[in-house]
Amino acid sequence: MKVLHKQRFQREEIQQHFHSIQVQFLTFLRRLDGKQQVLDKFIVDFNQFSDQFPDMREDDQTKEELHQRVDILSDELWEIAEDRKEQAVEERKKIMDSGWVEFSLEYLTSCAQQMMQSEIDKFKGTIQLVHDYYHAVDEKLIPEAPESNTVDLLTEDAELPDVERIADGAEPSDINSFSYPRLDDFFKKALKAQVVPDVLAQSAAADAGKKGGAKGKDAKKGGAPDPEEAKPESVYVKEMREAIKVEKSILRFRLTQVRNWALMRLKHQRELSLRIYQKLDDWIAVATKAENDAIEEVCDVVKDAIEE
């Protein structure tokens, strides 16, 4: 329940994070620049020249000179727009390289690991309960619980594979091409937990040792062999084996469910990230086109004024 609560909290945090990224990026694209100052200076010089030399405005060489100045103005404005585009691309790259998405994927994988660990601990406890119950019913000595009765998925010396970073230009449709080796490693280790020690064999060996000692004494006394040696497995032993088998199948099912749930969330989160990054790239293209169209329109207006 705690892990699922953390997941709900993380899901809301991801939505808020991506929303703030988009708002901040749009604000960045709409920031002021120096194009208006360059245009204002050109207009002041243009009008000042027209006021001082009104008769020269109709001269062809004057028009040619003014057209050249408009071309220079266009180049300056284009250069500013190109710098803004490069800055926007760099800003998008910083967002992608921040590692926030990769960290959230690691966090989600860690939540899946905790859920798998809980399933393993519950399974081991259930198996111990089954052993104790059927040994008590069958009036056999209950074996001591092993020192290590669980499997630790995350040991201190474990080397966890790095989360694959989102490459620039990756498409949301390529989501299935990504791999999640950390989740796969946890799942494989978790499946090993279904290996249960055969307490029946241990109990039989202990009983055989005791009976062997008793036989030695009976042999000296000339006693007959114990008829219980050939006794078949009791119904309780068969029930215990069946119960353990059922618990193993339940463990496999629940571990698979956790793995599938985590895999679905990882893919969804990475796909959402790719869509956001693609949207930022589209916004850069739209903003650049809008600026270029505005520059062309301004230059066309000025050139028409020169000719008229």
Question: Would the pLDDT of 219 be above 60?
Answer: no
Q: Specify the residue for token string 């209950």.
A: 142
Percent of the chain with pLDDT over 70: 78
Residue 295's pLDDT is: 93
Question: Would the pLDDT of 197 be above 90?
Answer: no
User: What are the tens digits of pLDDT across the range 87-133?
Assistant: 999 999 999 999 899 899 999 999 999 999 999 999 999 988 988 88
The lowest-confidence range among 205-209, 216-220, 260-264 is: 216-220
Q: What is the pTM of this model?
A: 0.75
DSSP string, 48-78: HHHHH-GGGGG-HHHHHHHHHHHHHHHHHHH
C-alpha torsion 70→71→72→74, nearest 10: 90
Torsion angles phi and psi, residue 152, rounded to 5: -90, 115
Rounded mean pLDDT, 190-205: 72
Taking all residues of the chain, what is their mean pLDDT, rounded to a whole number? 83
Rounded mean pLDDT, 182-202: 81
Cβ-contact 183, 259 below 8 angstroms: yes
User: What are the tens digits of pLDDT across the range 14-62?
Assistant: 999 999 999 999 999 999 988 999 999 999 998 888 888 888 878 888 8
Neighbours of 291 (CB within 10 A): 20
Measured distance CA(109)–CA(81) in Å, rounded:
42
Residue 138's pLDDT is: 72
